[in-house]
């Protein structure tokens, strides 16, 4: 057994765990900030199951969408540290670019999910979904959770393609990154 391979695997696992926790925490906080009429933490403390379903679905959707950005970030980190010939400044440069790409994908994920959710609530103007969820209407929460998760499934491929184009890889031929290829 190669010790370097084992250490690489453990490092990848730990980085994935840390990034996952960060993504989920930021996703929850951002969703809480965007849904101004609902105080998610208080509602969850008060056993509002509808809010828990909605918040949980947003976190699950964030996991679906951000999955495609965690692996490239980890690969960029390893490439910058172990395969970089440009010294410390090159390592920090590569890591900065990878971090900016990660933050951009986090912002794009949260924004696109929120815009999709707001678009749906605008189209279904007969129901004030967030008001119903605040009243612990579980049926509305399940519907909204399904919409959030389905949006993530629709958006995930587009985000992955966008990240491939934005990924800092010298010599990458972007012509095979079309939606059809």
DSSP notation for 115-153? HHHHHHHHHTTTS-HHHHHHTT-HHHHHHHHHHHHHHHH
* The predicted structure's pLDDT at residue 39: 81
Distance in angstroms (rounded) separating the CA atoms of residues 177 and 113: 23
In degrees and rounded to multiples of 5, residue 128 shows phi and psi of: -90, 90
- Locate 56 and state its tokens: 């949980």
Distance in angstroms (rounded) separating the CA atoms of residues 76 and 70: 10
Cβ neighbours of residue 147 closer than 8 Å, sequence gap 6 or more = 116, 117, 120
Q: Tens-digit pLDDT profile for the chain (181 aa)?
A: 678 778 878 888 888 899 889 888 888 888 777 776 788 888 888 999 999 999 899 989 988 988 877 877 787 777 777 776 767 777 777 778 778 888 888 888 888 988 998 898 889 888 888 889 889 999 999 999 999 999 999 998 888 887 777 665 544 444 444 444 4
Residue 58 burial by CB count (10 A; 0-12/13-18/19+): exposed, middle or buried?
buried
* The predicted structure's pLDDT at residue 84: 67
* The predicted structure's pLDDT at residue 181: 41
Closest to 43 measured CA to CA, from 110, 117, 128, 133: 133
Domain boundaries of the chain, sorted by first residue: 3-176
């Amino acid at each position: 057994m190669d010790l370097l391979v084992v250490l690489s695997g453990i490092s990848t696992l730990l980085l994935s765990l840390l990034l996952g926790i960060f993504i989920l925490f930021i996703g929850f906080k951002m969703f809480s900030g965007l849904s101004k009429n609902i105080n998610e933490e208080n509602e969850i403390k008060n056993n509002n199951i509808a809010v828990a379903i909605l918040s949980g679905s947003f976190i699950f959707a964030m996991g679906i969408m951000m999955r495609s950005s965690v692996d490239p970030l980890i690969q960029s980190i390893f490439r910058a540290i172990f395969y970089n010939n440009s010294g410390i400044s090159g390592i920090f440069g590569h890591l900065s670019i990878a971090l900016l790409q990660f933050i951009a994908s986090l912002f794009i994920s949260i924004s696109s999910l929120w815009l999709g959710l707001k678009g749906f609530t605008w189209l279904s103007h007969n129901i004030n979904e967030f008001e119903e969820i605040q009243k612990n209407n579980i049926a509305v929460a399940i519907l909204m959770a399904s919409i959030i998760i389905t949006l993530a499934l629709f958006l995930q491929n587009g985000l992955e393609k966008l990240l491939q184009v934005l990924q800092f890889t010298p010599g990458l031929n972007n012509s095979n990154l079309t939606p059809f290829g």
